[in-house]
Structure 1
Amino acid sequence: MRVGTAGWGIPKLSAPAFPADGTHLERTARVLPMTEVNSSFYRPHKPETWARWAASTPAGFRFAVKLPKAISHEARLAGAGSALDSFLAEAGRLGDRLGPLLVQLPPSLRLDAAVADAFFAGLRARFGGDVVCEPRHASWFTAEAGALLAANRVARVAADPAPVPVAGNRGAGEPGGWDGLRYWRLHGSPVIYRSAYGPAVLDALAARFLAEAVERPVWCVFDNTADFHAVDDALALTARLGDAAARP
């Protein structure tokens, strides 16, 4: 089970929980077991940058990495083979620190089964690790879409807030696709990216994750970073999970 944040900034309020020395990444990696790299969505990083990040973390630490928007938002999953090759060659320098790849889709991207299946098959031919997808169009929350993802061993992200109205699709905020992995992205609710999660919500999440982790790996990323709640929420959830938080 791994709990972390999107990025590795450490606000002053949480600083006492972290070692005083080292870079933000080094300090984060001594307290939390993972982080999610979102900067790769916006721009490429040099291979030596990825290698330096890997060398800055202990053996059990993992990076989840978001695919570039050039693939997901600009190419919209079509004809992305060369871009995938470049990205995987760069991020691959993380070595055994590389965790799941995150494919976040634009809200306007409707499921085209032929395009999506070709993309994920191509990704799977290139990458044998875990892959998760965060779609945000209602067409991805159907039995057909779930089967397509499962066939390509891709877990659908469980997101909060739900990416489409829950009243229209009650599974929109729940895990889907491949059942061998759970990946939660908690963006803050009710105000996305800003709201903190209260004790009752964290208690419920901890109970659910402990139950789910019996059968599969569970990852949880706090992305409510705008008002600096992500680190505090990740630490609070980790404390609730106890020793289980240190297990893969």
Structure 2
Amino acid sequence: MGRWLGKACHGRSDSGRPTLAVGCSAAHVFRMAGRVLIGTSGFVYPHWRKGVFYPRGLPQKQELEYFASKLRTVELNSPFYRLPEREAFVRWRQRTPTSFCFAVKASRYITHIKRLRDCGDSVVTFFQRARGLGKKLGPVLFQIPPNMRVDVGRLDAFLDLLRGRERCVLEVRHPSWLVDEVHQVLKRHRVAFCLAVGGSLELEEVVVTAPFAYVRMHSGAGSGGNFTKRQLKTWAGRVGDLRNQGTDVYVYFNNDWEGHAVRDAMALEELLGLEH
């Protein structure tokens, strides 16, 4: 498993009391646990209605409130297709509890049309609007297209545009990006490498390039695209390990069909002992 934070280093004195090894500080040993937030990619799905997830008869305009009563975070996908005005983000903020967190998938104009080039003004516009979420704005996901091959120089220049902004994440979809050089650039900019599960690329290891981790659960091994109990237990272990290292972890299930995403998200919460 990849690591961002160093492991604790300690020994024991003759009396059996724990001691710090030479060169170690107390911060290495007494590390606070990270925060784990689990949700879904999107919340507006007609096939979640009529009792699949949303109760029968629930007005569509109340779906976000209902969702936020069951899960503590959501990844907003609609801004990827069409970036709304700031007022829309403000309304989302106003409709959710104080502790709720929104991850946001950045506009495809930046990633798919401009392809990370000459997009400084678009990045500024995106963040100006998304900040309507206030303190509820969590990580921002930049998903590059599957036909875009690795270009470390272009990536480095783009990430310069994100300096000093909110937590940011890069999701790659072409195998040429799965190289250490990309990981090092992300680490230098403190941008998370998206851990995509069951998508177009299957990762062989957990790579952590920032003080937080971001996981997208696209499709499971179950017959309906759901994640099996074995898969969920495996990821509960991985997420738990990261949490214990002091790493914040965001997990979003994207297998929306038949309501699997919300059920899998709740099951993973239960395995990790999280309370809503």
Fold similarity call, TM over 0.5: yes
Q: Structure 1, residues 192-248: CA drift from partner, whole Å, max 9, x if none? A: 9x60112221122222212211120011100001332111111111122223x55xx
Q: Secondary structure at the match of 1:13?
A: coil
> Any idea what SS the aligned residue of 1:108 has?
coil
Where does residue 2 of structure 1 map in the other structure? 37
Task: Report the secondary structure of 1:65's partner residue.
Answer: strand
Residue 47 to residue 156, structure 1, CA distance change in 2 (3 Å): same
> Residue in 2 aligned with 1:210?
240
**How far apart are residue 173 of structure 1 and its match?**
5.0
User: Closer, same or farther in 2 for the Cα pair 1:64/1:87, shift >3 Å?
Assistant: same
Equivalent position SS for 1:2: strand
Contact 2:199 2:218 in 1 (8 A): no
Alignment-derived partner of residue 157 in structure 2: 118
Q: Which moved more, 1:181-190 or 1:144-153?
A: 181-190
Partner of residue 193 from structure 2, selected from 152, 156, 161: 156
Would you say how many aligned residue pairs link Structure 1 and Structure 2? 234
Match of 1:66 among 86, 105, 125: 105
Asked whether the 8 Å contact 1:185–1:220 carries over to 2, the reply is yes
Cα distance in 1 for partners of 2:105, 2:234 equals 27
User: In the aligned structure 2, how far is the partner of 1:83 from the partner of 1:3?
Assistant: 29
Q: Aligned residue for 2:19? A: none
Gaps of 5+ in 2: 1-35
The alpha-carbon distance between structure 1 residues 178 and 188, as it changes in their structure 2 partners (threshold 3 A), is same
Gap regions ≥5 residues in structure 1: 167-171
Quickly say closer, same or farther: Cα 1:174–1:99, change in 2 above 3 A. farther
Which of 264, 268, 272 matches 1:233?
Answer: 264
Which residue of the other structure, out of 114, 127, 139, is the alignment partner of 1:100? Answer: 139
**Of 58, 61, 77, which aligns to 2:116?**
77
Percentage of identical aligned residues: 33
Structure 2 counterpart of 1:195: 225
C-alpha separation in 1, matches of 2:69 and 2:254: 20
RMSD: 2.2
The aligned amino acid for 1:156 is F
Secondary structure of the residue that 1:50 maps to in structure 2?
Answer: helix
Alignment partner of 1:143 out of 174, 180, 188? 180
